[in-house]
Structure 1
Amino acid sequence: MRKTIVLLLAAAAASSSGITVVSAKDAPKPAISIETLKTVTQTLSSDAYEGRAPATPAEDKTAAYIVERFKQAGLKPGNKGNWFQDVPLVEITASNVTPLTVSGGKAPVTAEYRKDLVIATYRVTPNVAIKNSDMVFVGYGIDAPERGWNDYAGVDVKGKTVVILINDPDWRTMTLDGPFGGRAMTYYGRWTYKFEEAARHGAAAAIIVHDTEPAAYGWGVVQSSWTGPQLEQDTPGDHMDQSQAIGWMQKPIAEAVFASAGKNFAELARAASIKGFKAVPLGVKASVSFTNTIRRQASKNVVGILPGTTKPDEVVMYSGHWDHLGRCDAVNGDDICNGAVDNATGIAGLVALAEASVKAGPARRSQVFLAVTAEESGLLGSKFYAENPVYPLNKTVGGVNMDGLNVIGKAKDFVLVGAGKSELEDLVKPLVAAEGRVITLEANPERGSYYRSDHFSFAKLGVPMLYGESGEDLVVGGTAAGKAATEDYVVNRYHKPQDEYDAAWKWDGAVSDLNIYYALGHGLAESDTWPNWYPSAEFRKVRDASRAGSK
């Protein structure tokens, strides 16, 4: 199988930017253990692990179990003889949250915490108080000079409360054409960017309007994710350069605020999608306050390695996040968000790939298996690793990230999330074909999945990581069954207590995906190739500079 993998990669390399892959000795086909996938997933998503929230007692149990499975697989400690990389975090828990009140308009508007509004802060401070802050509608809250777009042009929002729409201005476009890629969300559409940009412009508070379609999830997901303890990276300065308050409001509340200001929300939202939109002061004032309990505690990334034989300093990476939401809003008396699919399955895949790799024997390059913390809090674990790498990024060849495996049955298609970015896409195409499958585009590119998982932390610093997964065209049931399963998960299970292990799950789809991940990663580990980003990709420049510095 190893020779087949390398030959397939070589065939792909012929059409890419000068990538070459050398031949290697034969090796057995990867033995992906379904028993491992079941056992690890069921264990990590059991109530005994309390939803795997970082910086809680459940973390110690989770990390210890992952180390136990890595040891059983035959990996070595990956951080200078240690299994762990400490990730400094600070936990901020809001309490005594007052309703958001909006005054000065035709009628006062009140938004109740959790029901209508979620509010938090990046700042490590015991008290937050926004008092009579002028509200300004800044459309999609984007400042993108390379696209000739600036929603903050001509308006001073320092000390004010900005109201922002989620996603990109062209999200309603059903094709991939438009100033921001049409239906496919860019990073400008992500809530993380919008809060970052509001802070850069000095906003005292930034509130995103929740709308289910462009957000790609319902209010229940926002409520469960943004209430309770919130984690941030613990850095010097305590994030005091960020806005005092950040949050979301339900769309009907936004409509009421705009009506109180004598404005029509729908009309202004449409205007915000057109280039040249100017921010609109609403003439009303916002007030909200809350107190914070602050706790500092290091969390842990778990790092295992299968050392390479001839190029051990060059690294191929497999990654997945071990954390989930822990205790969350109860549904029918159940307050544990178990995170079975998201992402106990991904850690199960990480362990299964480690087992298969060890059985195949060491490759020329080292293979690192990284289970990261705090993905659900904003990719904090992978961000910390990328900024403080155990293995230099200019020696990290590339790899695969896993965030939720397919447990609904084998798919005919394989989706490249965020397609059109790196040469890994060329290398993986024949490997997908070897599984009897075809490459397809994302069914829901408006969800911005490329910017929502840990590969993005590596991408921003130049390392290409494949993020690909089963599509919705199932072998049994076709696209109708696949779409129904996706919709059921997003609406009823995602970030809710209902994301629980099910003994009736079908694992053949996960195995097929893992065969592809193994083939790509092991082929890279046996080769001399250095995949790059396509010339048009936003990460190409940093990769080129990084690689130049390693030569």
Structure 2
Amino acid sequence: MRLTILALLATVAAPALAQTRPAPAPAPAISPETLKTVTQTLSSDAYEGRAPTTAGEEKTVAYIIERFKAAGLKPGNHGAWTQAVPMVEITATDMSPMTFTVPGKPAQRLAYRTDMVAGTYRVTPSIAVKDSPVVFVGYGITAPEKGWDDYAGVDVKGKTVVILINDADWQTMGREGPFEGRAMTWYGRWPYKFENAAKHGAAAAIIVHQTEPAAYPWAVVQSSWTGPQLELDEKGDHLDQSQAVGWMQLPQAQALFAAAGKDFAALSEAAKTKGFKAVPLDARMSLSFRNTIRRQASKNVIGVLPGTAHPDDYVLYSAHWDHLGRCDPVDGDDICNGAVDNASGVAGLVALAEAQAKAGPAKRSIGFLAVTAEESGLLGSRYYAEHPIYPLGHTVGGVNMDVLNVNGLTRDFVIAGAGKSELEDLVKPIVAAEGRVIGTESNPERGGYYRSDHFSFAKLGVPMLDANSGQDLVAGGTAAGHAKAEDYVANRYHKPADEYDPKWDWSGALSDLRIYYKLGRMLAYDGNAWPNWYPTAEFRAIRDRSRDATR
């Protein structure tokens, strides 16, 4: 029902954008050689996995600037190619076991990496949580607009909260439910859960890992949450956050609950219902570790194609350049090269810059933003959105690219988080002109809309399209596309095996990029278009305020 209502609202909103739009010039060809060369270069071992604040970053930033210059862009930050992003790197050392004690029972000691992972956002030399009472808070959601509060009636200050991943209705196959059913919302994402636990004063917040609702296996958690961790370097050193945050494996959670005389499965089922009351467990948690702290700036890279008639209005393309650097070795290989994620997206950014520059300047300026530290929690895009080079009230909208399709042409083009902005109305005829159809998300439970850099802009009101190829391959159909997508998640995502393959089929990526090109060109060519969020979208009010401030 929700999507139907939004679609009706969209038909009212869209004509205002389309009435007098002029037709931009035909699109120059997108270069497949650029896609191959940039992806292969950035994902080579020489770039060491492109971890921020490393030698790999220096090479990456220099290469992107070189390609932006060659494409014909101008420096995008008042004569400079980069924006400094102040970062603090925290590396946990001397990690103790995460120990749970239940009166009269043997202590349960969870081993680091295999049973649990943990860290902190606090910039402090050491962390020590000792005998912290444990409380199960279900999905850890506080959503007043839905009448939902998993923390109602319980004081968790100084305590350890155990939290389920995803939303309470993630097992609903449709989109009906308090949290959009199968489609994960922001409330289902782990950053939200840690943020909300901290707001309630929790000393520690531990998420129970389950592969299906998390949308990735334990190996991804292990590789992402061990080694150096990055956060923005801000006043206060994040001391308002919980002392420790982390994950634990499902069997360990089940054993903890059983030792405390509780049934994990039964309580998880109860947590799906509005009005669920948090359950204190007769258990206490202890955990300690030391932190090595390093403060160092990373960089966003930005180039611009200045506009002619409205140079102070901007259309943005974005992609993150970073990956994990060195990670858990597989067959002796410890470099997470990040070829698909997201050297391919940066390659798309460069290819679009080349095409837009060849077409010549539009009425509005077009910015090309390669951001840092997406893998650390969207830090580079968050910093840009909070410290914009181009005022957000003058940022028309744009496209974010996180992973290009290297599996071949698909019949479908899928919009993540569909039903939110008028960009969807603008892109639909462009998709149709490509001979493709708008499809539905195959795995909405993965919460893709909230996991990439466009979300940093959305939270502050700027509509950014996050859309790409679906799984209905022209050669092989949905079954083949789904198999390839699942194989990538299981075997290459955030692992050393995400490496460049000369046998990749770039035809799907090229079709997607033509769509991105035409949408961006349309927005840049039409000086009157200001796409907004649909009236029911959570970002509408802040967009209206930012636009009102420019009038």
TM-score by length of 2: 0.97
* Correspondence for 1:324: 323
TM-fit CA distance, 1:15:
5.9
**In structure 2, what residue type is equivalent to 1:546?**
S
TM-fit CA distance, 1:283:
1.1
* Correspondence for 1:542: 542
1:145 aligns with 2:144: yes
1:531 aligns with 2:531: yes
* Correspondence for 1:36: 34
TM-fit CA distance, 1:22:
4.1
Whole-Å Cα distance in 1 between the matches of residues 178 and 32 of structure 2?
44
* Correspondence for 1:130: 129
* Correspondence for 1:401: 400
Residues 192 and 363 of structure 1, relative CA distance in 2, 3 Å threshold = same
SS at match of 1:350: helix
* Correspondence for 1:9: none
TM-fit CA distance, 1:410:
0.3
* Correspondence for 2:297: 298
Whole-Å Cα distance in 1 between the matches of residues 141 and 253 of structure 2?
19
User: Is the Cα–Cα contact under 8 Å of residues 397 and 464 in structure 2 kept in the other structure?
Assistant: yes
User: Is the Cα–Cα contact under 8 Å of residues 316 and 397 in structure 2 kept in the other structure?
Assistant: yes
Q: Percent identity?
A: 71
* Correspondence for 2:468: 469
TM-fit CA distance, 1:27:
2.3
**In structure 2, what residue type is equivalent to 1:419?**
A
TM-fit CA distance, 1:104:
2.1
The partner residue of 1:74 within 47, 72, 75 is 72
TM-fit CA distance, 1:57:
1.0
* Correspondence for 2:3: none
Show the 5 A alignment for 1:137-286.
137-286=136-285
Show CA shifts across 1:453-498 (max 9, x none).
Answer: 0000000000000000100000000001100000000100000101
SS at match of 1:235: coil
* Correspondence for 1:5: none
TM-fit CA distance, 1:340:
0.3
Whole-Å Cα distance in 1 between the matches of residues 106 and 165 of structure 2?
26
**In structure 1, what residue type is equivalent to 2:78?**
K
TM-score by length of 1: 0.97
TM-fit CA distance, 1:19:
1.8
TM-fit CA distance, 1:107:
3.3
TM-fit CA distance, 1:17:
6.0
TM-fit CA distance, 1:435:
0.5
* Correspondence for 1:97: 95
SS at match of 1:475: coil
Whole-Å Cα distance in 2 between the matches of residues 486 and 531 of structure 1?
32
* Correspondence for 2:286: 287
User: Is the Cα–Cα contact under 8 Å of residues 30 and 518 in structure 1 kept in the other structure?
Assistant: no
**In structure 1, what residue type is equivalent to 2:87?**
L
Show CA shifts across 1:329-376 (max 9, x none).
Answer: 111111000000000000000000000000001000000000000000
TM-fit CA distance, 1:547:
0.4
How many residues are treated as equivalent by the alignment? 540
User: Is the Cα–Cα contact under 8 Å of residues 24 and 525 in structure 2 kept in the other structure?
Assistant: no
**In structure 2, what residue type is equivalent to 1:350?**
L
**In structure 1, what residue type is equivalent to 2:463?**
P
TM-fit CA distance, 1:539:
0.1
Whole-Å Cα distance in 2 between the matches of residues 250 and 213 of structure 1?
13
1:347 aligns with 2:346: yes
Whole-Å Cα distance in 1 between the matches of residues 15 and 274 of structure 2?
35
Residues 25 and 142 of structure 1, relative CA distance in 2, 3 Å threshold = closer
Whole-Å Cα distance in 2 between the matches of residues 30 and 343 of structure 1?
24
TM-fit CA distance, 1:28:
3.4
User: Is the Cα–Cα contact under 8 Å of residues 27 and 517 in structure 2 kept in the other structure?
Assistant: no
User: Is the Cα–Cα contact under 8 Å of residues 14 and 20 in structure 1 kept in the other structure?
Assistant: no
Whole-Å Cα distance in 1 between the matches of residues 27 and 119 of structure 2?
49
Whole-Å Cα distance in 2 between the matches of residues 59 and 472 of structure 1?
33
The partner residue of 1:18 within 16, 24, 28 is 16
Residues 195 and 25 of structure 1, relative CA distance in 2, 3 Å threshold = closer
Whole-Å Cα distance in 1 between the matches of residues 245 and 531 of structure 2?
38
User: Is the Cα–Cα contact under 8 Å of residues 24 and 522 in structure 2 kept in the other structure?
Assistant: no
Whole-Å Cα distance in 2 between the matches of residues 17 and 69 of structure 1?
38
Whole-Å Cα distance in 1 between the matches of residues 61 and 325 of structure 2?
15
SS at match of 2:403: coil
User: Is the Cα–Cα contact under 8 Å of residues 108 and 260 in structure 1 kept in the other structure?
Assistant: no
> Tell me, which stretches of 5 or more residues in structure 1 are unaligned?
1-11
Whole-Å Cα distance in 2 between the matches of residues 257 and 46 of structure 1?
44
Residues 13 and 260 of structure 1, relative CA distance in 2, 3 Å threshold = closer
User: Is the Cα–Cα contact under 8 Å of residues 23 and 522 in structure 2 kept in the other structure?
Assistant: no
TM-fit CA distance, 1:14:
7.8
SS at match of 1:529: coil
* Correspondence for 1:459: 458
Whole-Å Cα distance in 1 between the matches of residues 140 and 300 of structure 2?
33
The partner residue of 2:52 within 54, 60, 74 is 54
TM-fit CA distance, 1:24:
4.0
**In structure 1, what residue type is equivalent to 2:452?**
S
Whole-Å Cα distance in 2 between the matches of residues 163 and 24 of structure 1?
55
SS at match of 2:549: helix
Show CA shifts across 1:210-235 (max 9, x none).
Answer: 00000000000000000000000000
SS at match of 2:380: helix
TM-fit CA distance, 1:30:
2.5
* Correspondence for 1:7: none
TM-fit CA distance, 1:110:
1.2
SS at match of 2:400: strand
- Quick check: 350-359 or 19-28, which moved more? 19-28
